[in-house]
Chains A and B, each alone.
Chain A
Amino acid sequence: KQEVTQIPAALSVPEGENLVLNCSFTDSAIYNLQWFRQDPGKGLTSLLLIQSSQREQTSGRLNASLDKSSGRSTLYIAASQPGDSATYLCAASNTGNQFYFGTGTSLTVIP
């Protein structure tokens, strides 16, 4: 089983700033790690997935990295925009059968 932690619980940044969200997991025998975005009152939208054999994945202004040895993944958001305001969750899986979620980081981008 994975224990997944996301710190801080909340983050507020001015528009245009680059930022990093953190996700820590306890078991380095990870299968993959998936980042999600959740808008208030809505479901989860998948952003990026990193397989255990990969170091990073990129999609537009988002870049996710994976360091198995240190038990960390980061989600880098470049040139933040107010539309990026949401809660970001990470989920780690050891086998691809069960997925363990962090409690999320609530991001506010101030115009």
Chain B
Amino acid sequence: DAGITQSPRHKVTETGTPVTLRCHQTENHRYMYWYRQDPGHGLRLIHYSYGVKDTDKGEVSDGYSVSRSKTEDFLLTLESATSSQTSVYFCAIRYWNGSYEQYFGPGTRLTVT
């Protein structure tokens, strides 16, 4: 168990409001990831981090920003939420188990009305 928690688990917000999702891990893993999952699209990478203050964009980063000021926390911010950002958001960490693998958090269901 990589000890990943996500908060909140569910959120409903209005179009145009900023939203921040939190991913917290307890085992000092260097790499952390934010994905979104939508029907027909699988999981798509939004942003990832390879250390404190070190982040990079994924394939669907527009409208999202991230921050990592501590190893254990990776924050995803929707600067001005839109209905197209209604989705399930998953955080993951990368860990070594003879090869680099991913372990996922429980997800956050976000609805933008």
**Interface set of A (CB-CB < 8 Å, partner B):** 4, 31-32, 34, 36, 42-46, 49, 51, 89, 91, 93, 96-99, 101-104
Q: How many residues on chain B are close to A (CB under 8 Å)?
A: 25
Please name all residues of chain B whose beta carbon is closer than 8 Å to the beta carbon of A98 when the two chains form the complex: 45, 48, 58
Interfacial residues of chain B within 4-36, with CB under 8 A of chain A in the complex: 31, 33, 35
* C-alpha gap A41/B101 in the complex (Å): 22
Between A and B, 22 residue pairs with Cβ closer than 8 Å are A34-B101, A42-B106, A42-B107, A43-B104, A43-B106, A44-B104, A46-B101, A49-B99, A51-B98, A89-B42, A89-B43, A91-B43, A91-B102, A93-B100, A96-B100, A97-B48, A99-B33, A101-B35, A101-B42, A101-B43, A101-B44, A104-B42
Please name all residues of chain A whose beta carbon is closer than 8 Å to the beta carbon of B97 when the two chains form the complex: 49
Interfacial residues of chain B within 71-97, with CB under 8 A of chain A in the complex: 90, 94, 97
* Closest B residue, CB atoms, query A1: B59
B90 and A44 within 8 A (CB)? yes
Please name all residues of chain A whose beta carbon is closer than 8 Å to the beta carbon of B64 when the two chains form the complex: none
Interface of A is mostly: strand
- Besides A45-B104, A102-B42, 16 new A-B residue pairs in contact (Cβ under 8 A), listed by A number: A32-B99, A32-B101, A34-B102, A43-B90, A43-B106, A44-B43, A44-B90, A44-B104, A49-B97, A49-B101, A91-B43, A93-B100, A97-B94, A98-B58, A101-B43, A103-B40
B99 and A43 within 8 A (CB)? no
* C-alpha gap A4/B105 in the complex (Å): 22
